[in-house]
Amino acid sequence: MIDQSSMLCAHCQRCGRRSVLGRVDAATLTPPAEGGNAPRLRCDMCGGRQVKLFNAQGPVEMLAFLNGRM
């Protein structure tokens, strides 16, 4: 079950930018269908495609992620 306070965050491995994408819902975390490609994110600062997703469980964990403590 997904917590209502879960936030989906992203970290660019190329430039180091950390950002919050929004609240998490069940459709966001489901794997792509057979034969379908997973969506690839791009960094809005450098355009890099080396973006890692992070699921923050609440506002405290989200702030720790944004400040680089996680």
Q: Structural domain tally of the chain? A: 1
Q: 33-43 pLDDT, tens per residue?
A: 676 666 778 99
Beta carbons within 8 Å of 8's beta carbon, 6+ residues apart: 20, 21, 22, 23, 24, 28, 53, 54, 55, 56
8-51 pLDDT per residue, tens: 999 999 999 999 998 877 565 566 667 666 677 899 999 999 99
Residue 3's domain comprises: 1-25+42-70
Distances (CA, A) of 62 to 29, 42, 47: 17, 20, 23
With respect to residue 46, please indicate whether it lies within any of the assigned structural domains: yes
- Whether 34 is covered by a domain: the verdict is no
| Assigned domain for 35 exists | no
Please say if the pLDDT value at position 1 is more than 50: no
